[in-house]
Structure 1
Amino acid sequence: MIAVNNASTVDMTILRTRLTGSAQAAGVLDVAYRTFDSPVGPLLLAATPEGLVRVAFEGEDHEAVLDSLATTVSPRVLAAPSRLDPVARELEEYFAGERPRFGVAVDLRAVRGFRRAVLDRLAGIPFGHTRSYAQVAAVAGRPRAVRAAGTACATNPVPVIVPCHRVVRSDGTPGRYRGGEAAKLALLTMEGAR
């Protein structure tokens, strides 16, 4: 019985690999995804041909995130781990303290207006440093839009890669985070944030 189950698992792996390869070759793999085990829990990584479109923490319900991508980006969503190997490699380097900045392309097609302006400024916050929501609002061109800057960070579709965890309240407390306060604190501690 065990040999049959192992054979079935191997057959399913081969079938998935062939399906993924065929979909990529035919140009019908619009959203590839995989999971990545990180120090802050399992992360769902999803990418379009343009770049990384979503990073989701376990508490966000990965299946719900995939359903949302199928609705908002394309219904052609498929597990294709190898397509996300460069992202996984950069995340491994980041969590090992060897990568202060990410180089993978991101696909922010769903983010517009002031939220996009905020996300575009976050990569400028150096590894190991923080900025307040007020400071981010100011550099994004709307100094009085502190709450809107907070909302942009809270709805960042690619947290960690676009470092919204480096944005804190003016009093230095962490504030809310898509992955939870414990994850935000862990990232800031790992980076030695000041």
Structure 2
Amino acid sequence: MIRYMLCPSPVGNLVVCEEAGRLAAVRLNEIPVGALPEETPVGKEASVQLEAYFQGRLKEFCLPLAWKGTPFRLRVWKALQDIPYGETRTYARVAEAVGSPKAVRAVGGACHDNPFLVVVPCHRVTGSNGQLTGYAAGLETKHFLLEHERRLSL
């Protein structure tokens, strides 16, 4: 059973989802069908860490994640966690990092389907010339998150 909490943020309400004691998802304004509103220890901790991130006091999340995906997507999502706060990588560079240099579009698909918005930083992935391309929560949100991190990295 998935339980969720709402976590207000500068980009909108983040929906923090927990299942079986692990963070199942962080979504923007999207409550999963059938999920129940309930505060849980994991949900509370995720909310605390997200608030600290937006206040500029946290640069790396430490939460128990419920990873669900293909082996390729799991490699991509874990590689995203290696992108330092305030920096970006191209889709091609992430594809190389996971050992599939020709799988640039598949990396884009994995980023789009990343269930852990902000926590697993797919917003740090850009197009080949550094341009902002696709983001499940919208390019405006991606731009905000990148600028937020850049501003605090100076």
TM-score range relative to shorter protein: over 0.9
Give aligned pairs, total. 151
Q: What do residues 100-130 of structure 1 show as CA deviations (whole Å, max 9, x unaligned)?
A: 0000111112x11211110011110000000
Shift of 1:137: 0.4
Q: Give the counterpart of 2:36 among 64, 78, 87.
A: 78
Deviation for aligned residue 1:160: 0.5
Which residue of 2 is the match for residue 97 of structure 1?
56
User: Which residue is equivalent to 1:188?
Assistant: 146
Question: Are 2:80 and 1:122 aligned?
Answer: yes
Name the structure where helix makes up a greater proportion of residues: 1
The residue type equivalent to 1:45 in the other structure is V
Aligned to 1:107: 66
Q: C-alpha deviations, 1:36-62, integer Å up to 9, x for none? A: 11011111110112411111112xxx2
1:87 aligns with 2:40: no
Write out the 4+ residue segments of structure 1 that deviate beyond 6 Å after TM superposition: none
Question: CA-atom RMSD, angstroms?
Answer: 1.5
Cross-structure match for 1:172: 130
Unaligned runs of 5+ in 1: 1-29, 71-76
* Alpha-carbon distance in structure 2 between the residues aligned to 1:113 and 1:87: 25
Q: How high is the TM-score relative to the length of structure 2?
A: 0.92
Structure with bigger gyration radius:
1
Whole-Å separation in 1 of the counterparts to 2:85 and 2:21:
25
Displacement of 1:136 in angstroms is 0.2
In the alignment, what sits opposite 1:53?
24
Structure 1 residue 31 corresponds to structure 2 residue 2: yes
* TM value normalised by structure 1: 0.74
- SS at 1:44 equivalent: strand
Q: Kindly state the Cα deviation for residue 180 of structure 1 after the two structures are TM-superposed.
A: 0.3
Q: Which residue of 2 aligns with 1:10?
A: none
Please say if residues 18 and 40 of structure 2, whose CA atoms lie closer than 8 Å, have aligned partners that are also in contact.
Answer: no
Which letter maps to 2:55?
A: A
Contiguous gaps of at least 5 residues in structure 2: none
